[in-house]
Structure 1
Amino acid sequence: MRGLRLTALAIILVVATVVVTVTVQWRGAPSREELLDQARLTGKKQLTIGVKNDHPGIALFIPSTGEYVGFDIEIAYMIAADLGFHRDQVEFVPIETEDRARRQARRPDGTFVTVDLVIATYSITPEREKQPGVSFSAPYLATEQTIMTREGQYADAESVADFKGQVVCTTATSTNESVAAKAGVLLTSRNSAKKCVDGLRDGAFEAVASDAAILAGFVRQEPDLFDLHDIGLSDDELYGVNTGDNPALTALVNLSLYESLHDPNDQTWEKAFAKYMAPAQRTAGVQQIAIAEQPCVPKVEIREWPWEKRALTPTDHCPL
C-alpha cells in the first residue's frame, strides 16, 4: 500500500509540474477558442470569402455546376475548415481587383457584401499593408510578374523594356503598373485579367502584364494562342489573405497556414498545387509560374495542453 501511495504521489507531482510549466510558458497566449471569440466567429453559421471568378487554375466559377474551382478555392476551403466551417457553410462571392482592400464583393443579385476574408491573388506589399482595413496573413503562394502575348510574337523579349511604346493591359491597382510604367510601356487597365486577355485575343493590346500564376491558366486554356515571356523580374509576388481589421482572425488564418506547412499528414496545399499549378506549368514554357513549396509561415503562439499539440516541426521565424 505504501508503494502505491508513493506512486500516486509521484504521478500527482508530475502532473502538477506539467500544469505549472504549461501555465507559465503559455501565460498570456490566447487559446484557439478565445481567438475564435475575438474574431467574432463563434456561433457564426456562414463564412463569406471574396474570390476571383474568371481566373482558370486560380478561381473559376463553373455555371453548369454552380461551383468554384482552383488553387485559391482549395486554400479557402482549407482555412475555412480550420476555422470550423464545413464546405456547405462557405459562400464565395466574386470580388473585383480594386475592391479587395475594402473587402466589398458583389453577389449575383447585385448587392454588395463585406466579406470575412479576401483570397483573390492579393499580393502583399508595404503600400497595401498601410491601407485602412487591410491586414494580410502570411503568404500562401509565391509567384512573379510576367508578360503574355499572342503566340509567336515577341519571341526574343527578355524584359519589360522590349515592350516600350506598346499598349499593354493590366488590372487596376495591380503591382505590375509601376514596373510597366518605368519601362515606357503604354499601360492601360481593366478591372479583371480576363478582360485584358480578351482584349489581347481581339488585337486591342499587344500584351498583358500580370502574375505568372494568373496568366498561366489562360495559356493552358489556349496554348496555341498565347505565349508567356520570362522577363527577368526577380522579386516574388507573395499572395496573402486579407482579414480586414481583425487581428484575431489574422492569427487564426496564420495558424491554419502554419499547420498546413508543418503537419506531414496535411497535404491540402501540395494536392492543390499538383492539381492546378503543375499542369499550367507544363504549358508555360520557360516561365516559372509559381514556387512548388508553401511559403514560410511564422509560428503562432496559442495556449493548448500538451496532448492537444500536433507533431509539428516548429519554425518561429521566417528568413527576410
Structure 2
Amino acid sequence: MRKHTTAVALAAASALALAACSSAEPGNTGDGDGGGDTLTVGIKFDQPGLGLQKGAEYVGFDVDVAKYVAGKLGYDEDQIEFTEAVSANRETMLQNGDVDMIFATYSITDTRKEIVDFAGPYFVAGQDLLVAADDDSITGPEDLEGKNLCSVTGSTSAERIKDDYAEGVELVERPGYSECVSALASGAVDAVTTDDIILAGLAAAQEDPTVFKVVGNPFSEENYGVGLPKGSTDRCEEINTAITEMIDDGTWDELVATHTEGTGYTANAELNPPEPAACA
C-alpha cells in the first residue's frame, strides 16, 4: 500500500511539473487552442490606423494582423496580451523576453536582424507625403523646394528629403504626428512625411477623412516584419504560413481597406501584397 501511494504521488507531481513547464513555455500552442497560455504582443499605442489604444481596446491594421496570426497559431483573442512597443525599445523587449512577438511598423533591416529575428514582411510601406486634399502643387518630394515640411522630432524622414530631393525645404519638427497633422490643417506646413500607410491612418482618423490625401508617390521601401526573439526559426515559419493564408483568403486586402477608409489610399501594387521571406 505504501509503495502504491508513493507511486501515485510521484506520478501526480510529475504531471504538475509537466503542466507548469508547458504553460511557462512562450508560444506553446498545445492542441491548437493556445494551450491555455497567453501570447504577449508588442504594438504601437499611438499610431492611428495601425496601432492605437482606445480605452481598454486596441485597434489598427497591425493589431488586426496580429490577431489573425495569433488565431492561426492557436490563440483566441482573449489569450492575447497587448503591450506598448516604443520604437527605441523593441529589440530590448524581445531580448529580455518581455514580449513574444512585435507588430509595430517594425522595418526589417540587416542591422536589426543581427540581434532579433523577423517573420514576414506582412506589408511593404514607402515614405510619402500627406498634403491638403485640394493641393495639386505637390506630387513628390522634388516639389517641396521652399515649402514647409513637418516630421516628428528625431525622425530621419524629413532630412532624407532635404538631402536627396529638395535642399531648400524648410523643416518643421513636432513631438508627434498628430501635431504635424494639426500644423497641416492650420496651413503652418505644406506637407507631412513618413511611411505611406501611417499617413493614410492619420488621414482616416480625422473627423472628415477626405480633407487630406496621401500623394501616392513613395520614394523608399520599408518592409514591416514581425519581430521575434533570436532563434525563433520554427515560430517564424508558422507566422509566414499565417501571413500567406491571410493574403490568399482576402483578409489582408480587407484590413488595409478598413483602416484607410475614406482617404482614397491604395497600397503600392508593385510591392503589395508582400511575399514573406524565407526564415533564417
Is TM (by shorter chain) over 0.5?
yes
| Paired amino acid for 1:227 | K
Aligned pair count? 245
C-alpha separation in 2, matches of 1:217 and 1:194 = 11
Percent sequence identity is: 30
Shift of 1:209: 0.4
53-62 or 207-216: bigger deviation: 53-62
The reply to whether residue 170 of structure 1 matches residue 151 of structure 2 is yes
The reply to whether residue 82 of structure 1 matches residue 72 of structure 2 is yes
- 1:240 — aligned with what? 225
Distance change in 2, residues 1:228/1:94 (3 Å): same
Distance change in 2, residues 1:118/1:177 (3 Å): farther
Shift of 1:293: 4.7
2:38 pairs with one of 46, 57, 60: 46
1:257 match: secondary structure: helix
C-alpha separation in 2, matches of 1:261 and 1:212 = 22
In structure 1, list runs of 5 or more residues that go unmatched: 1-35, 105-112, 302-320
Shift of 1:144: 1.8
C-alpha separation in 2, matches of 1:264 and 1:139 = 12
C-alpha separation in 1, matches of 2:252 and 2:210 = 30
1:225 pairs with one of 193, 211, 226: 211
C-alpha separation in 2, matches of 1:68 and 1:189 = 28
Q: CA RMSD in A?
A: 3.5
Matches within 5 A, 1:111-122: 114-122=98-106
C-alpha separation in 2, matches of 1:264 and 1:211 = 21
What are the superposed Cα offsets for residues 252-297 of structure 1, whole Å, 9 maximum, x if unpaired? 13422324415898554344234334x35x534xxx4444953112
Matches within 5 A, 1:1-320: 40-42=26-28, 45-63=37-55, 66-103=56-93, 114-130=98-114, 133-153=115-135, 155-171=136-152, 174=155, 176-182=157-163, 183-184=166-167, 185-190=169-174, 192-220=176-204, 221=206, 222-231=208-217, 233=219, 235-243=220-228, 245-248=229-232, 250-262=233-245, 266-277=249-260, 279-280=261-262, 283-284=264-265, 288-291=266-269, 293-298=272-277
C-alpha separation in 2, matches of 1:192 and 1:227 = 19
| Paired amino acid for 1:283 | G
What are the superposed Cα offsets for residues 223-262 of structure 1, whole Å, 9 maximum, x if unpaired? 35323223462x432211111x3222x5413422324415
Shift of 1:77: 0.9
TM-score under structure 2 normalisation? 0.70
| Paired amino acid for 1:239 | Y
1:49–1:119 contact (8 Å) kept in structure 2: yes
Shift of 1:145: 1.6
Shift of 1:212: 1.3
| Paired amino acid for 1:247 | G
188-197 or 138-147: bigger deviation: 188-197
2:196–2:218 contact (8 Å) kept in structure 1: no
| Paired amino acid for 1:92 | F
1:48–1:116 contact (8 Å) kept in structure 2: yes
Shift of 1:204: 4.7
Shift of 1:165: 4.3
69-78 or 92-101: bigger deviation: 92-101
C-alpha separation in 2, matches of 1:204 and 1:264 = 40
